[in-house]
Amino acid sequence: MTISATIHKAKEFSLFDFCKKRADKVQLFGKESLDEEGNVIPFIDQAALITHYLQLRNTNVKLSYKEKAEGILNLWYNFVREKQVKPHNDYAFAEESTPAAMQGYLFPDLFQAPFQHQQMPKFKFIDLFAGIGGFRMAMQNLGGECVFSSEIDEQARKTYYANYGDVPFGDITKESTKNCIPEGFDVLCAGFPCQAFSLAGKRLGFADETRGTLFFDVAEILRRYQPKAFFLENVKGLVIHDKGRTFKTILKTLDEVGYIVPDPEIVNAMFFGVPQHRERIYIVGFRKDLGINKDEFTYPEQKEVTKKWIDVREENPVPAKYYLSTTYIDTLKRHKARHAAKGHGFGYDIIPDDGIAHAIVVGGMGRESNLVIDDRQKDLTPTTRIKGEVNKQGWRKMTPREWARLQGYPDNFKIVVADASAYKQFGNSVAVPAIQATANNLLKVLKNHGYIGK
């Protein structure tokens, strides 16, 4: 289709960027913006419908929300055209409301995201509890096309959009969100939260034993859509959580909804090219009717550590804000001494240049357990309010970019949020190389049976 006007300086304005710091306060009303129950769809969920539609509209993926997305897209387009939001003076508005024209005004950066959809995908997958897209990064690297993503954290959704070009859908516990999942995808991916099952072990069906937990929604989607395979990730403590009852209930449930599950395995990211000691439980499964035996799948070998901390350290000196104050260092030393006197090993830790980082985590002593010595920065003038002065011994926190590298994200992965959110996002992420190596083995099984393209 022809767009009848030229778009000037498209990178300087997009509706999503305009609203990104106050998406919860912006709302566009109209019949197009109502859900099945007559409630107004929140702004960021409207963005999810539109961006998924624009990314997938020229594929063979059947979208149940096509008409809804087109209606909301038209609503947004008219909102801009009527200059309720004033774009740059150099803008000339298209005179025909084509999806391409609307896309140009509302999402000029949509197809400029660094990690675009595959042009000739070998398989389709969905990304649940997506975070910032660690599973997606790995699966796209292996030739997959993401046809649905879901994440409830608004800051993570912004990072996801900036890097992949679509906004994840929101609350997966809602039926309206589940209904947006397209039929016919091959693999379900999910790093679901660890929660106890209050009725575990009562010999009930999965719906009763797991209801009220987020794993219930994973199981329900597997039961309803029956993809060929799944790949789940969780903290290694899941195995012993609630005296092992949680893990047993999960395996029983996966069997009930129609899947064989090779013995799950704890996988450590440090054996896959990232210098981080990060152990997670991986669970994969295949639909029973595919004729796949458990022993056809094996987890990748974990035998060699090839990277150390210095390999992911930022190449140039980092700003003074990452260096600890003398007062805070004293506090950390006293905290560690108190625990040492009680026979505990809690407290800060300094990672040597040739060392391996501890697992990066959110909260607690997550950053302090991975301090480093870096004396390259000579300008230690404080740029934030601190007690005391910046230490001159080179003690500093790792930067968000270094955390990104510890999780296996490439340097062109965009960090578009404040540091506090970035640390949270990378700390919650999966380790991309370990996921990719395991997913590669899963896909080989499907390929060998002719269920996905080679």
**Mean pLDDT within 172-198:** 86
d(C-alpha 313, C-alpha 331), whole Å: 26
What confidence tier does 28 reach under pLDDT thresholds 50, 70, 90?
Answer: low
Q: State pLDDT tens for residues 277-300.
A: 999 999 999 999 999 999 999 999
Residue 66 or residue 202, greater confidence: 66
Domains assigned to the chain: 1-112 (no CATH), 115-303+424-454 (3.40.50.150), 315-398 (no CATH)
**Mean pLDDT to the nearest integer, 37-65:** 90
Residues 110 and 165: their CA atoms lie apart, in Å, by 5
Backbone angles phi, psi at 225, to 5 degrees: -100, -20
Asked if pLDDT for residue 338 goes beyond 70, the answer is yes
Q: What integer pLDDT is reported at residue 7 of this predicted model?
A: 31
Q: At which residue do the structure tokens 């896309």 appear? A: 103
Distance, CA of 124 to CA of 135 (rounded, Å): 13
**Residues known to be catalytic:** 194
Q: What is the mean pLDDT of the chain?
A: 85
Q: Count Cα neighbours of 98 within 13 Å in the Cβ-side half-sphere.
A: 11
Handedness of CA 175, 181, 186, 189 (dihedral sign): negative
Q: What is the pLDDT of residue 310?
A: 98
Partners of 115 in beta bridges = none
Can you name the residues that pair with 189 across neighbouring β-strands? 127, 231
Please check the confidence at residue 254 and state whether its pLDDT lies above 50: yes
Please determine, for residue 8, whether its predicted confidence score (pLDDT) is greater than 50.
Answer: no
For the whole model, what pTM was predicted?
Answer: 0.88
| 50's tokens | 């539109």
Q: What is the pLDDT of residue 101?
A: 63
Q: Which of 94-108, 281-295, 393-407 has the lowest mean pLDDT?
A: 94-108
12 pLDDT more than 50: no
- Decide: helix, strand or coil at residue 371: strand
Q: Is the pLDDT of residue 252 over 50?
A: yes
Using the predicted structure, report yes or no on whether residue 179 has a pLDDT greater than 80. Answer: yes
- pLDDT tens, 54-100? 999 889 999 999 999 988 888 877 776 665 444 443 334 334 456 66
Contacts of 28 (CB under 8 A, 6+ apart): 43, 46, 72, 75, 76, 79
pLDDT range class, residue 362, cuts 50, 70, 90 = confident
CA distances for 352 relative to 310, 315, 390, 399, angstroms: 8, 16, 21, 16
Q: Binning pLDDT at 50, 70 and 90, where does residue 17 land?
A: low
d(CA 166, CA 454): 26
The residues facing 323 across adjacent strands are: 396
Return the bridge partners of 281, or none. Answer: 234, 266
Q: Please, which pLDDT band fits residue 26 given cuts at 50, 70 and 90?
A: low
Phi and psi angles of residue 268, each rounded to the nearest 5 degrees, phi first: -105, 125
C-alpha 389 chain-centroid distance: 37
Model pLDDT for residues 364-386, shown as the tens digit of each residue = 667 889 999 999 999 999 888 88
**What interhelical angle do 66-81 and 99-106 show, nearest 10?**
60
pLDDT at 93: 39
Largest CA distance in the chain: 75
